[in-house]
Structure 1
Amino acid sequence: MASKKYLLLAGAMSLLASTGFAQVKPSYDALDSSKVPASRMAQFNSFKNNQSDYPAKPRDMWELGLHGGLMMIKGDVHGKPGFGGGVSLRKALGHTFSLRAEYTGSYAYGQDYSLKPTIIANGNPWAQTAALNGGRIVPNYKTASHQVSLDMIASLSNIMFYKSQPKVNWYVLAGYSLLLADVDVDALNGSGAGYDYSGISFTGKRKDILDALKNLQDKKYEQNAPSQGNRTQIGRKDDNQLLRHALNVGTGIGFKVSKRFNIAIEEKLTLPFDDYLDGYTAGAYDGSKDFMYYTNVRFNFNLGNANKRVEPLWWVNPMDFAYNELNSPRRMKLPTPVLPDSDGDGVTDQFDREPNTPAGAPVDVNGVARDTDGDGVPDYKDKQLITPTYCFPVDADGVGKCPDPECCKDRVKATDCSTLVLPSVSFKGSSTKVSSDNEAILASVAASLRSNPACNVLVTGHAGAKAKKGGVDLSSRRVDAVIDYLAEKQGIDRGRFIKQNTPGDAGTVDLAPAN
């Protein structure tokens, strides 16, 4: 009969596998405060603000279960499948462990198929049958039980590294039960006399023996099984209830159908360490104890407000948030990228075609030192920033040599300083520094002065129309900055410059021939 039970179990599992299950991803988000109880909000805020590495545990739903299946007893008497059913309530302690309280009511049956010594001690309901069969009987029983249990369940498959959420949940369990069992036997026929087994051959096939016993017995189970200590006077048969502590162990597998419902198949063993669950003890022949095993199907429903609670935590993969955060960060503090720029020219080394330009040297978008006039001398070395192409080639300082026209080589060129046209230099704000744009202007001025060595220059600063306080000093420093650049950077003799300050545009220094 046990083989039929496992065949039925295999069929149920195949049916569940063939139906398919909804692939529903939980809506749990570690950054969702609506799922966090007030008692854990401090941890939630600390995590959200990057002050703590660990999120707060969310509220999760309770699970209400209805179960039913086959109940059997493994003992001294050959067991037959009975049936059982009940209700359970389960709550998660974390993603792995949970507690389940459960009630199970059941009937289990047994029928042996060989003659055995009768039980004499502690009452003998088999006395009349034993008298007809030389002191021997064929034991049978019907055990009705009530079982209240508290089990610790460990989920084995919800913490996953290669999938998002579990759709199948394997688990194991262990716990404690308080068991109340009423054991009755069919020892007398309908006339109240013992059974006579003389017409049954116990040397044939087991099936034939069981069929013969079935035809002989009336299956009324009218007698209490032999009494044993620690009986209670409640239940269907007065003074015949076994009240026992028991250990539970088991395993199961659950299949998620939706966020609110799952189906599970479970095998649960109850070990009360008692040898009278089947109404018969082999005594000296066998020192083993009886135990019950319950193969059942469970229909489980998640209870709670989905807006305030997540699914039971054994259906939530705690790695899901971590992997999603790595893929699309919402909480992580990502540092500002620091790209190397060895020469400090503002172009990162990855894109810098000239990664060793001197500090402060002007460069283009590719990090290459600028050469404004294309004479082959970079601007930071070029003392003649704009050299006409007809003056090429230039020397190492970028200064070109412009030849006299053929027609004028033998003439002595008179210097006419009044024809020189010199530009003005502009300053921004209160700056007195010659900008890179002004450097190019002053380089052209220097070139003109070199070509006209007899000409001096009047350098005029302006204190502003209203001569604001400090304006004359600022204007004077700007004039000095222009003269310093032409003298120190371009090599023009300081004796050729004449300074003055007059009213005018306060941001401008004018240059003009002084001759």
Structure 2
Amino acid sequence: MASGKYLSILALTGLITTASFAQKSDADYGWVLDSSKRSVKNMPQQNEFLNNQYPYPSKPRSMWELGVSGGGSFIFSDIDPKFGFGGGLSLRKSLGHIFSVRGSYNGSINKGADYRLRNTYDGINGPWNGNYLIYGNKYVANYRTKVHQLSVDFIASLNTPSIYRGNPKTNIYLLAGYSILGADVDVDAVGSNGQPYNYTGINFEGKRSDIKSALKDKWDGEYESNGSIRNESRDAIGRSDKNWLIRHGLDLGAGIAFRVTDRVNIGIEQKFTMPFDDNLDAVKIGSANDFISATQFRLNFNIGNSSKNVLPLWWLNPNNYVYNEVNTPKHMKIPTPVLPDADGDGVTDQFDMEPNTPAGAAVDSHGTSRDTDGDGVPDYKDKEPLTARDCFPVDADGVGKCPEPPCCTELREKMMAKPACAITSLPSVQFKTGSLSLSATAKAVLNSVAQQMNANPECKVKLTGYYKGSDKRSMQLGWDRVNTVIKYLVEQQGIGEGRLIFSLSDGGDPNTVDLMGTTEEGPNSIPAPFPNLQKSK
């Protein structure tokens, strides 16, 4: 019967344990930085940690856990146990996030009844000896043992630290410790008439269940006699003379608790106590010792001022701080990134294909000097920036060798005059899908555009955004992106709004804003097509 109950309890515990791992939990780590939850002794280390002088925080003050427990109790011995019950109180304190220590008191009443006829002990003045001479010194053993137990147990929490979730909602633990216990062992040796029980008529060769049923009907359940104790200076111990069997014991066990709130948790625990004694059932046979099994449900309360103490440390994952800092640094000292640009052309050295461009020279998005007419002489050196290809090759100043017809002097003078706008080709600005943010590359492109516009004050720039068909969101996103580029050129580069022409068109790449130098006129702003769909970033 007992083994079946234990299998059921273990199966239930396994199901609860499996389900508990699927629960999500919070990843709070504010307690790591909270100095109000440190003792005066630990404050120097905490201050060094907060000032980035030491990598580890100090241990915080934590609450105590007060526990109330109750449940089944059994003595496994030479005699079949009956269901007993017990309960107790405990007080637990964390030593760290894994280990804790618990002091507890537990009281229990345990019973057992045999189904076999036994011989009385020769030479021992036990409750059976003498009384059963008239029945051939044969008796059936039984007992009722009251146990008072004081324990100190060390507990190891198995699932507190984790790299896959935050604070645990379950506490799975093992325990081992020491107990000192007092046992009052009594037996039901005689009936209500004061005479020993006569077992004549009971078929001890039959089924165990039938034998136990017959014995139950015969016994009065008074447990009026002291149980006999072997290998002691005294022969009997029990309630009649208020003697107690005092023993030391080893505790082993395991349990699981479920956090209901920050103050309350419930759980179930299996604990075995081995007192290295074979007298808890009033029968000493063979060399095997008796031991106590307690399966108890627990109701635990976290006690302490929450403004000065954190939860018991087995409810806090110590990895929370580390993973939160890696994900979103708040306490770490992170140096400001340095992006060197030796020639000051707006393209960082890492991406600059021409890192020694003279100051003021117009460059493309790769940092290469612009050569508008493709004559091999960069624009900043070219005295004839728009040399016709018929006049190639050119000299070191970019001037071509074009034959001049006598009749075209006036035309030559017009061609040699500074063109109305020398900006003929500009790079496009690329956006990430759905985004309005300018990347570092996009800003470098716009910095280059601003330089060219400053060098060519007669030029305007037409900015064209795109959308797809009648898609309202696409049309508004195209407008937002053109507006973002114009805003950057005006506010960050000081370009006058009057030199920027706002344009929106269907059919191009929606993630692109094209820029083109021009002398034509046009609006520097147009109304947002669908303001209700306007994005902020």
Structure 2 length-normalised TM: 0.68
Q: How does 1:128-167 map to 2 (within 5 A)?
A: 128-167=130-169
Equivalent residues of 2:126, 2:236 under 8 A apart: no
1: distance between equivalents of 2:370 and 2:73? 92
State whether structure 2 residue 308 is matched by structure 1 residue 305.
no
Query: In structure 2, which of residues 226, 230, 244 is the aligned counterpart of residue 241 of structure 1?
Result: 244
Whole-angstrom distance in 2 between the partners of 1:368 and 1:260: 67
Tell me the residue number matched to 2:521: none
Q: How does 1:430-441 map to 2 (within 5 A)?
A: none
Shift of 1:133: 2.7
Contact 1:129 / 1:195 at 8 angstroms: preserved in 2?
Answer: no
Structure 1 counterpart of 2:257, one-letter code = G
Report the CA distance between 1:120 and its aligned residue: 3.4
1:347 is paired with a residue of what secondary structure? Answer: coil
Q: Secondary structure at the match of 1:276?
A: coil
Query: What are the Cα deviations for residues 1-44 of structure 1, in whole angstroms up to 9, with x where unaligned?
Result: 30453366369759978999996637542122222222212211
Compute the displacement of 1:297 (Å). 0.4
Matching of residue 66 in structure 1 with residue 65 in structure 2: no
The yes-or-no answer on 1:253 pairing with 2:256 is yes
Give distance in 2, aligned partners of 1:187 and 1:236: 14
How far apart, CA to CA, are the structure 2 residues paired with 1:295 and 1:388? 95
1:206 equivalent among 189, 208, 215: 208
Local SS of the residue matching 1:214:
helix
Q: 1:356 aligns with which of 334, 354, 357?
A: 354
Task: Give the structure 1 partner of residue 395 of structure 2.
Answer: 395
* Amino acid corresponding to residue 244 of structure 2 in structure 1: Q
**C-alpha displacement at 1:216, in angstroms?**
0.7
**Cα separation, 2, equivalents of 1:400 and 1:32:** 75
**Within 1, Cα distance between the matches of 2:83 and 2:233?**
27
**Offset at residue 360 of structure 1 (A):** 3.7
- Once the two structures are superposed, residues 450-498 of structure 1 have per-residue CA deviations (whole angstroms, 9 ceiling, x without a partner) of xxxxxxxxxxxxxxxxxxxxxxxxxxxxxxxxxxxxxxxxxxxxxxxxx
Q: Secondary structure at the match of 2:132?
A: helix
Q: Is the 8 A contact 1:22 1:256 kept in 2?
A: no
Further displaced range: 340-349 or 173-182 = 340-349
Would the aligned equivalents of 1:267 and 1:295 in 2 still touch at CA under 8 Å? yes
- Partner of 2:54: helix, strand, or coil? coil
1:25 aligns with 2:23: no
Deviations 1:127-173 (A, max 9, x none): 24431331221110000011000000000111112112211221100
Q: How does 1:48-67 map to 2 (within 5 A)?
A: 48-67=50-69
- Alpha-carbon separation, structure 2, partners of 1:121 and 1:101: 41
The change in CA–CA distance for 1:296 and 1:140 in structure 2 (over 3 A counts) is same
Moved more, 121-130 or 257-266: 121-130
- 1:37-89 deviations in whole A, cap 9, x for unaligned? 22212211211222111122122111000000111111111111211001000
Instruction: Say if 2:276 is the partner of 1:278.
Output: no
By how many angstroms is 1:403 displaced? Answer: 6.5
Distance in 2, matches of 1:225 and 1:43, equals: 59
Kept in 2, the 8 Å contact 1:117–1:137? The answer is: yes
> SS at the partner of 2:209?
helix
What does 1:222-237 correspond to in 2, within 5 Å?
222-228=224-230, 229=232, 236-237=239-240
Do the aligned partners of residues 15 and 173 (structure 1) sit closer, same or farther apart at CA in structure 2, a change above 3 Å counting?
closer
Q: Separation in 1 of the partners of 2:131 and 2:159?
A: 54
Separation of aligned partners in 1, 2:223 and 2:200:
21
Change (3 A) 1:330 1:143: same
- Counterpart CA distance in 1 for 2:120 and 2:238 is 26
1:182 alignment partner in structure 2: 184
> What is the deviation of 1:306?
1.8
Aligned mates of 1:235, 1:184 — CA distance in 2:
5
Once the two structures are TM-superposed, the CA of residue 106 in structure 1 deviates from its matched residue by: 0.6
Q: Note closer, same or farther for the CA distance 1:15–1:238 as it changes in structure 2 (3 Å cut).
A: farther
Contact 2:229 2:237 in 1 (8 A): no
What is aligned with 2:44?
42
Give the one of 260, 266, 269 matched to 2:269: 266
What is the aligned partner in structure 2 of residue 123 from structure 1?
A: 125
Whole-Å Cα distance in 2 between the matches of residues 178 and 232 of structure 1?
A: 22
Q: Deviations over 1:295-336 (max 9, x none)?
A: 110000111122222211111111122111111111122233
Distance 1:387 1:80, change over 3 A: closer
1:230 to 1:398, Cα distance in 2 relative to 1, 3 A: farther
Output one character per residue of 1:179-232: Cα deviation in whole Å (capped at 9) or x when no partner.
011100111111111111111111111111001111111111101011453779
- Equivalent residue, structure 1, for 2:329: 329
Map 1:337-356; keep pairs closer than 5 Å: 337-339=337-339, 346-348=346-348, 351-352=351-352, 355-356=353-354
Q: CA deviation at 1:99?
A: 0.3
Q: Which moved more, 1:58-67 or 1:156-165?
A: 156-165
Distance 1:130 1:339, change over 3 A: farther
Structure 1 unaligned runs (5+)?
Answer: 410-435, 441-515
Identity of counterpart residues, as a percentage?
A: 51
Residue 88 of structure 2: aligned partner: 86
Q: How many aligned positions are there?
A: 406
Local SS of the residue matching 2:42: helix
RMSD (CA atoms) = 3.5
CA distance in 2, matches of 1:15, 1:374: 77
Tell me how far apart the structure 2 counterparts of residues 100 and 385 of structure 1 sit (CA, whole Å).
91
Q: Which moved more, 1:14-23 or 1:362-371?
A: 14-23
Relative distance call for 1:396 and 1:110 in structure 2 (3 A) is same
Q: Which runs of 5+ in 2 are unaligned?
A: 410-450, 456-537
What is the letter of the counterpart of residue 406 of structure 2?
Answer: E
CA deviations 1:277-297 (Å, max 9, x no partner) are: 111101xxx111111110110
**1:79 counterpart SS class:** coil
- TM-superposed deviation, 1:358: 3.4
Partner of 2:165: helix, strand, or coil? coil
AA in 2 matched with 1:294: A
Report the more deviating stretch, 2-11 or 251-260. Answer: 2-11
Q: 1:232 to 1:66 in 2, by over 3 A?
A: farther
Q: Shift of residue 110 of structure 1? A: 0.7
Q: Which whole-Å CA distance do the structure 1 matches of 2:204 and 2:238 have between them?
A: 36
